Amino acid sequence: MAENKESFMDELSKLAEITNIVEDSFLSKGDVSVVVELPEDDYKNLMSHFRELDRNKNKCTIEISGVNFNFVLKT
């Protein structure tokens, strides 16, 4: 489980890097949202890192420095 959490933190760090790139570009003047459609297995894996209360939703938003990363279950 520790490796799983470490891996998730690595993925969050990558999202933070994307946010830094956006902040240093002309895009920083607008509202920025990134939408990622995930297949069911990948989406469930992502949701396993959050509270059980949130796991049954079909959409998850992670906001980092004003950039919204919207993860949705691909249908």
pLDDT digits (tens, 9 = 90+) for 19-57: 999 999 998 888 999 999 999 999 988 888 877 766 778
* pLDDT of amino acid 27: 87
Contact predicate 34/71, CB 8 Å: no
Rounded Cα gap, residues 19 and 16, in angstroms? 5
Alpha-helical regions (H) of 24-75: 40-47
* pLDDT of amino acid 8: 86
